[in-house]
A and B are shown apart, each in its own frame.
Chain A
Amino acid sequence: MSNVSGALGKIKAKLSKNIIGALCIIAVTTAYLTQALKLSFGSALAPGPAFMPVIVSVFILVLGAYNIAKELLFPPKEAVDEISLWEEDEVSPGGETSAARVLALMAALLAYSFVMDKVGFILSTTLITYFLLRLMKFKSWWISLIATVIIVGLTYFVFERLLRIRFPTGMWN
């Protein structure tokens, strides 16, 4: 048993962010490639619809596999600093993180996007806004409720009434 956990520990230690990221992308690309291979590839003289998707998929798979192999065989001695030049905004991190909160928000957002059409914009948006305010610990429950009503009311007025965007009404139609 201890051998198994030891082996798992070694594998976990070897699975760097780069390897996990590359593995995920390889999995998605493989699924994509299987779809692409059902289409006509054509030739270099008359390329078909699968021409570029197949070439790019193979390129990603080779590059991903090469870098996974490189990291496993020759793990970097120290973490390489990468500068993120692309982030639009800098939010200062500081202290505790909560994966549970993030997962809850992901689930809530996904659920929201799938029920918005059926429940209607006003009710679904009221629920998600209140949930978000509570999740982010915005003051007390009743101030959050008032803030929710103001946010949803204002956005509805501006976008539906002034800018004439037709939101889904769902079961209230």
Chain B
Amino acid sequence: MEGLLNGFAIVLTPMNLLFALAGVFLGTLVGVLPGIGPVGSMALLLGATYGLPPETAIIMFAGIYYGSMYGGSTTSILINIPGEASAVVTAIDGNKMAKRGRAGAALSIAAIGSFIAGTIGIVLLTFLAPTLARFALRFGPPEYFCIALFGLVTLSQISGQAAWKSFIMVGVGLLIGAIGVDVITGATRMTFGLTPLQKGIDFVPLAMGFFGITEVLEAVESKVIQKADVIKVRMRELLPNREEARRSAGPIARGSFLGFFVGLLPGPAGVISTFISYFIEKKLSKKPEEFGEGAIEGVAGPESANNSAAVGAFVPLLSLGIPFSPPTAMLLTAMLIHGITPGPLLLSEHPQVFWGLIASMYIGNFMLILLNLPLVGLFVKVLKTPVNLLMPIITILCIIGAYALNNSVVDVILMIIAGIVGYGLKKLSFSTAPMVLALVIGPMMENSLRQSLLIAQSAGFTIFLTRPITRLIVIVTLAIIVAPPIIKIINLRGRKKHV
């Protein structure tokens, strides 16, 4: 509790409050706008934050991430275009509500649900992250290797594309992560004779390429919507009626807890939590036929779940130092750039960052609800920016962001190549997100594996079966790999019997 109070003392300084506000405002903005998401915008600002104290920079970056979860719902509800993938489900009933004249109620329930879920998530984070961090102090290289392996296997299974494709993309990410000087032997690896590759391939230019330039190439290819047909909302229409408030209470509560625990898992937790929440609410509803036609539960549950999931994703990052999603991978990079290594020692070595970040999330969440409802009109106006003006601006910002990392054109070249490759992979229906995550986790995973095998000496790979924690993780990981084909075979046999 003392740590949290100290955290509030850190955040409640004018500069940190200002940067928290800037973060959540920017987050909402990128959540509303298509073309650049939280990863791209964090990467863009990375170079500009070198001069800031670490806690101030991290507070702003975190604000961008959870702020973007708020912004996505606005466009889903008002124009049926989700600003973020995690707001896709919100569009189903949110836009139907808006067409029925209940846009204000949908927006306010989305904002209130996000606020409550965000707050519940932060309370859980406050207690869970330090506990897990203390527990993780017992972890050695074998445990870290197994957690990383578990993370990559899990996200391959739940990433939405065929598992084999995800596994391949994870493998490619691991290979890219191995380029450069080997930290254990000092050998130069897979640089193909190119000197700039000796320092390795940085995650940030690749992420900007995959999440920024690829979007621009897609926009150039498509005849995108220039002017959105926006449903107007008046301030006095923003309050939900008593019936809507009553029907939203349960979904918000369920979505808050569900989202948080889904957020702990690797993969696109924000999106998955919304689908699960929607499914649960439809199952529990007394009027399931209203789902798809403008049921308030279909907005309240998923919107709460995605915000809570965004907070939950901070638990593995802060306590283990392992990111399980691209935005938290970018946060990890931001921390490392500022000389902070997240993980079990973060709490003891940099308590001002740990508690400052958590306290800033309480305040940032409050800022978001104050910002979002009154400024709906402004965000919608931003959305009216022509895409053919927005995309060139995004391109220039990506170029500057990549260059500013090391004041090097090599990063710009890498980003553009990544954007082109990302576009090609997208055309071939290969998602780049597992690759990006593997690139971040890869070097840690490889070092942990090699250190584990060196520690094991003659025991070799059996070291992973002799330690209780690693044994448990190995069993769970194997179950995750083996379960889907077994279930498929059982289902097929069941169908054949029926035939």
A94 at the interface (CB under 8 A from B): yes
Q: How far is the CA of A56 from the CA of B446 in the complex (A)?
A: 11
**Cβ-closest 3 pairs across A and B:** A88-B37, A85-B160, A136-B388
- Pick from B175, B224, B397, B425: contact of A57, CB below 8 A: B175
The number of chain B residues touching the other chain, given as a range, is 35 or more
User: Which residues of B come within 8 Å of A, CB atoms?
Assistant: 33-40, 47-48, 81-85, 88, 158-162, 164-165, 167-168, 171-172, 174-175, 178, 182, 184-185, 187, 189-190, 192, 211, 213, 215-225, 267-268, 271-272, 326, 386-389, 391-393, 395-397, 399-400, 403-404, 407, 409, 412-413, 416-417, 419-420, 423-425, 427-433, 446, 449-450, 453-454, 456-458, 460-461
**27 A–B pairs (Cβ distance < 8 Å), ordered by A:** A17-B428, A21-B428, A35-B189, A35-B192, A45-B460, A49-B184, A53-B178, A56-B171, A56-B178, A60-B175, A84-B160, A89-B33, A89-B34, A89-B215, A92-B81, A97-B221, A105-B217, A109-B419, A110-B420, A116-B412, A125-B399, A138-B388, A151-B393, A151-B396, A155-B396, A155-B397, A159-B404
Chain B CB within 10 Å, residue with most, of A25, A63, A90:
A90
A166 at the interface (CB under 8 A from B): yes
A interface residues, tally (CB under 8 Å): 81
A106 at the interface (CB under 8 A from B): yes
Given contacts A84-B160, A85-B271, A86-B431, contact A35 B399 (CB under 8 A): no
Question: What residues of chain A lie closer than 8 Å to B433, measured between beta carbons?
Answer: 86
A78 at the interface (CB under 8 A from B): no
Find out whether the CB atom of A117 lies under 8 angstroms from the CB atom of B409: yes
Cβ < 8 Å to B, chain A residues 81-108 = 82-99, 101-102, 105-106
Given contacts A21-B430, A64-B168, A97-B221, contact A90 B409 (CB under 8 A): no
- Pick from B162, B174, B267: contact of A82, CB below 8 A: B162
Find out whether the CB atom of B407 lies under 8 angstroms from the CB atom of A165: yes
Name the residue on A nearest B186 (C-beta). Answer: A49
Q: How far is the CA of A22 from the CA of B454 in the complex (A)?
A: 34
Find out whether the CB atom of B222 lies under 8 angstroms from the CB atom of A138: no
A169 at the interface (CB under 8 A from B): no
Find out whether the CB atom of A92 lies under 8 angstroms from the CB atom of B40: no
A141 at the interface (CB under 8 A from B): no
* 20 additional contacts (CB under 8 A) given A24-B424, A86-B268: A18-B428, A21-B425, A35-B190, A36-B189, A44-B453, A47-B453, A48-B185, A57-B175, A60-B172, A60-B175, A85-B158, A88-B38, A88-B84, A89-B33, A89-B84, A90-B82, A97-B223, A136-B391, A138-B386, A147-B389
| Chain A nearest CB, measured from B422 CB (Å) | 11
Question: What residues of chain B lie closer than 8 Å to A13, measured between beta carbons?
Answer: none
Q: How far is the CA of A165 from the CA of B417 in the complex (A)?
A: 23
Q: How far is the CA of A47 from the CA of B448 in the complex (A)?
A: 12
| Chain A nearest CB, measured from B255 CB (Å) | 18
Find out whether the CB atom of A52 lies under 8 angstroms from the CB atom of B388: no
Q: How far is the CA of A165 from the CA of B396 in the complex (A)?
A: 14
Q: How far is the CA of A94 from the CA of B214 in the complex (A)?
A: 18
Q: How far is the CA of A84 from the CA of B214 in the complex (A)?
A: 15
- Pick from A97, A101, A125, A137: contact of B396, CB below 8 A: A125
